[in-house]
Amino acid sequence: MVLNNEGILGTDYAGNEARIDRLDLRYGGMNGYIPPIGSLSSDGKTFVELLNSEPYVSRDIIPFTMSLPRFMDFMPNGNLLKDTHIALFELHPETIEGIDASLSVDTETVKIGRTNQVLRTVTGINRPECNVTYGIREKHNKPVSNFLETYIRYGIGDEITKEPLVCLMPDFPKTNIPTSLELRSFATLFVEPDYTHTRVQEAYLVLGQFPTKAGEKVGKLDINGNGEMKVYSIETGGYMVYGAAIMELGQVMLDRMRSNKVNPDTVISPIDPNNLEAAISDSKFNIDGATTRTTK
């Protein structure tokens, strides 16, 4: 990773030389010589210390559903359940927490001599336990808790039999039965993009997720109270896979998003302003129809 006339160069995921967005720590930051005193890059245009003092700002992760629980394959409304699952866990969460791949060193200490000094030794290298938790607001008529209850009863186990009810479905196989983990769990790829939304900062693949609670079904009375909205904290656990291969997978998924199409300056209006009257007359609820309804 070097600085030259073409900017910051390094190697991409395929091992080819390419411009990357990581800054070069060999150059001074807060305590280095600062512009206009600082050194210039080889092209004589960029203050190296200024460039390499750019701070990192974390951004919201983007969830991509990579696999679905197998029990949905044997349900009569399986496709509806799959679409609902993807929308619920990709589009509806207001918060996603519990994703942490920070590497840490476990240590123990022993005293050395009589000076109360200690020697620290390594006992293990670990990453934190993964427990992905989604904060999802309940919607009108409680579709969130109803979906989660269906998920748990048919994919994990019923409260009476303690067995997944999907086993009673006529399409459930008699041989080559999926494992319990396959029936109940799903996998999600979480991608943190950079400020341009084109490059991956971090990517985490979490396997073996499944909800541990079906929202809330609680009734109460408070004569002095008001109604309240419900935001469920849905724990799904999971086993995290982290590394260069997952970063490459995250880049592939991010490239597919085409976020540039979201730019409002590039959106074409479905109504031609030069032909507005024709658009109104062709619409289902035109002005004349509205006038007729309001005068009756």
Instruction: Give residue 281's pLDDT.
Output: 58
Among 286, 262, 260, 282, smallest CA distance to 272 is for 282
Cis peptide before 36 (omega within 30 of 0): yes
CA torsion 37-41-43-45 (nearest 10°) is: -40
> How far is residue 180's CA from residue 164's CA, in Å, rounded to a whole number?
9
Instruction: Give residue 256's pLDDT.
Output: 84
pLDDT exceeds 90 at position 107: yes
Instruction: Give residue 186's pLDDT.
Output: 95
Q: What is the DSSP letter of 47?
A: B
CA 7, 257, 89, 196 torsion-angle sign: positive
pLDDT exceeds 60 at position 218: yes
Among 194, 94, 195, smallest CA distance to 144 is for 94
pLDDT in tens, 236-288: 999 999 999 999 999 999 888 765 556 666 555 555 556 655 555 555 444 45
- Does residue 111 or residue 39 have the better pLDDT? 111
Identify the weakest region by mean pLDDT among 45-49, 97-101, 170-174, 219-223. 45-49
Residue 182, exposed/middle/buried by CB under 10 A (0-12, 13-18, 19+)?
A: middle
Q: Which residues pair with 19 in a beta bridge?
A: 9
Instruction: Give residue 54's pLDDT.
Output: 78
Q: What is the DSSP letter of 232?
A: E
Identify the weakest region by mean pLDDT among 45-59, 81-95, 201-215, 221-235. 45-59
Across the range 147-159, mean pLDDT stands at 95
Instruction: Give residue 181's pLDDT.
Output: 95
- Does residue 257 or residue 165 have the better pLDDT? 165
